[in-house]
Amino acid sequence: MDSTAFRREFDTAEAAMRIMRAGSMKPEPMNYAVWYTYCAGDVVGLKAELDQYLKDKRPITADVSGQMFAKYIAQALAGLADQATRQKLDDANDRLGKTLNAVTNLVAAAVKGGEGFGAALDAFQREIGAVNDPTLATAVAAMIGEARKMVALNAELSNRLTQVSSDVAALKGDLTAIRQEAYNDGLTGIANRKAFNTRIDEMMAEAKANGAHLCLLMTDIDRFKSFNDTHGHLIGDQVIKVVARTLAHNVRDSDFAARYGGEEFAVLFPNTRLKDAIIVANKIRMAVRAKEMQNRRTGENLGRVTISIGVSEYTLGETVDDFIGRADNALYLAKQTGRDRVCSQLDLGKK
């Protein structure tokens, strides 16, 4: 990072802290996120609204900060803003953390150097004390006094930056948690529909740019409504979690599994041909079928659960709706032709 960017990031952090102190706002991560974003000027709408508040001299309460956070920051983190905005927020937080760490290290070095300088001046003062020259003694005393002020100032700045760095680390942790909550399914722990919508756009763009293969698996649990009505929602949730775990355990790290909605799931397979995706889909289907469900509370054996799967391969230049639509149609065909089976886009023309 060059010195100009370094200074700009540090000034932004300092400006945010000054505004919060002036407004007697608690140094909470949410407040800091709002005012750092305001001072950075990256989000035009947020800056315009807060500028109007400041111009009208209206109090900016915790409720106002919460509204600003929800409207401009949480939405971006939840994937409701465009990808560039989300990336900008992530980059800003990364740069801020790196900047503060660098400044803390520099000030620590300055403190150490200042202490050494002060010690050297003390020794010099003792050595020169025998010289009977009031003018020289006065000059040396003044110089030592200024050196001590410098040491004290550097120490104070180091302490302040250490605290700010700690606050920023906590903020980054909170933002990570918010992002994780926004993109993860609360029941199963795997990615949710929002995350899937973002990832499929990204993977399609990558496949288009690189001319790579990309496949999609769409699946849902056979006769789930009947199972849910018979055994209750708690058992139904247990079944959904088992299927989610099975999906996650049978795909690669580079693949992307998500709960698409209800009892339906989706998996994206980058750099994968259709024939290979079908093989993995059958592996997943058989892994689910091999599990015997049991009521954990009563020990009752609930039998086996099966899934049906549809698979499609991305065609360069097509829309996301077309890509998903073929997998959905193949899934519907698997349901129509007996369930507990895999159908692909190749089977659609055979109907």
Mark whether 263 is an active-site residue: yes
Which residue among the candidates 263, 292, 313, 318 is catalytic per the annotation?
A: 263
Going 250 to 254 to 255 to 259, the CA torsion angle's sign is positive
Can you tell me the distance from the alpha carbon of 125 to that of 138, in angstroms, rounded to the nearest whole number? 11
How many Cβ atoms from other residues are within 10 Å of residue 7's Cβ? 13
- Which position has the token pair 């620590």? 108
Pairing of strands 342-344, 307-313: parallel
CA separation, residue 8 to residues 1, 32, 99, 308 (Å): 11, 17, 10, 55
Contact criterion met (CB below 8 Å) for 334 and 309: yes
Sign of CA dihedral 18, 22, 28, 30: negative
Retrieve residue 254's tokens: 């580079």
Helix/strand/coil percentages in the chain, nearest 5? 70, 10, 20
What is the amino acid identity at position 101? N
CB contact set of 236 (below 8 Å; sequence gap of 6+)? 224, 227, 228, 263
Give the pair of three-digit tokens for residue 350.
């055979």
Q: Are 181 and 271 in contact (CB under 8 A)?
A: no
Residues contacting 140, CB < 8 A, separation 6+: 121, 124, 125, 128
Active site residues: 263
